[in-house]
Chain A
Amino acid sequence: MKKLIIMAVAMLLSMAAFAQDGKSIYSRYSGKEGVSSVYISPAMFRLMGKLPEMQVSGENINLSSILTSFSGLYLIESENKSINSSLKADVENAVKKGSYELLLEANDSGELVQMYTIGEDIVKSLIFYTVSGDEYTFISIDGNIKMSDLMEMISK
């Protein structure tokens, strides 16, 4: 009985300690000091898809074509040093456990950019992770995104 309880508690704590996807990483760090977070739900993406075409001044990206293929977005921006190392470990763990493939990695003068995807022609999930000085950014996007659309959007 005692062993069973210890095992159950250890299992629950380990599940909580090792966040494994965008949602759990977002839930773990959202609202913490020095962290700004954004969550856009599938319902909000559907609403955005119904908006007439919009252009924000100064921006040159038209999202209308790609927007309907998104089903969820989680963003964590952290300037909290004590959180950054833990966030880094969680991202590495999520990438490993989620069978993501590295699409892009650039490391220059302390600035790191990594982009991971699941799916070849149709991207089911995307993780974008950057480190710039003390600022760590984690973005996770779910959906059914055409790789060609994604590449086109990134290259603009």
Chain B
Amino acid sequence: MKSIDEIEKISFEELEAIASDESISAPDGLAESVRETVKAAAICSESRRSRTRTAFVIGAPSLAAAALAAFLLIPTSAPKDTFDDPRLAYEEMERIMGFISSKADAGFSKTVKLSESVESINKAMDKLK
């Protein structure tokens, strides 16, 4: 019996001649073995296709859900103006700046009072020295 290396070196013409030689008989069970090999190859190929299909079936909705979440949850465009009339917007701005001014002024007043207190304590300490 020839090895695979030897068979690979044989030309197509020689292989054709050997195949048509009726005096040479095929080994027992060769046809069955070839059929099983072909069947196994077909099963492997189907399994690979099925895995790809499963990944797509799981992946596609997940990606779609992610895209939808991004669209709904992440602000992409500028919000709509609260006022259409610049005069009303101006009045609201005055209200807001008035609010900031009153709150911040209270904060600054406390800071000034605190620094005055610290200053008077420092003066008292200096007198004691």
Give the B-binding residues of A (Cβ under 8 A).
Answer: 1-2, 5, 8-9, 12-13, 15-16, 23-24, 26-28, 30, 37-41, 43-44, 47-48, 50-51, 54, 56, 59, 61, 63, 67, 73-75, 104-106, 108, 113, 115, 128, 130, 137, 139, 153-156
Which residue of B is nearest A6, CB measured?
B62
Q: How far is the CB of B70 from chain A (nearest CB, A)?
A: 5
Give the A-binding residues of B (Cβ under 8 A).
Answer: 55, 58-59, 62-63, 65-66, 69-70, 73-75, 78-83, 86-87, 89-101, 103-108, 110-111
Interface of chain A: mostly helix, strand, loop or mixed: mixed
Given A23-B79, A39-B82, A130-B103, 6 extra CB contacts under 8 A = A12-B70, A38-B92, A41-B78, A44-B89, A54-B91, A73-B96
* Residues of B close to A48: CB separation below 8 A: 86, 89-90, 93
Partner of B74, one of A15, A30, A139, A155: A15
A114 to B69 CA separation, bound complex (whole angstroms)? 33
Q: How far is the CB of B102 from chain A (nearest CB, A)?
A: 9
In the A-B complex, the 7 residue pairs with the closest CB atoms: A106-B107, A16-B73, A27-B75, A47-B86, A5-B62, A154-B104, A113-B107
B92 touching A8 by the CB < 8 A rule? no
Partner of B69, one of A13, A23, A50, A51: A13
* Residues of B close to A74: CB separation below 8 A: 79
Q: How far is the CB of A116 from chain B (nearest CB, A)?
A: 12
A108 touching B110 by the CB < 8 A rule? yes
B66 touching A8 by the CB < 8 A rule? yes
Partner of A61, one of B98, B104, B107: B98
A104 touching B104 by the CB < 8 A rule? yes
A1 touching B59 by the CB < 8 A rule? yes
* Residues of A close to B78: CB separation below 8 A: 23, 41
Which residue of A is nearest B90, CB measured?
A48
A24 touching B75 by the CB < 8 A rule? yes
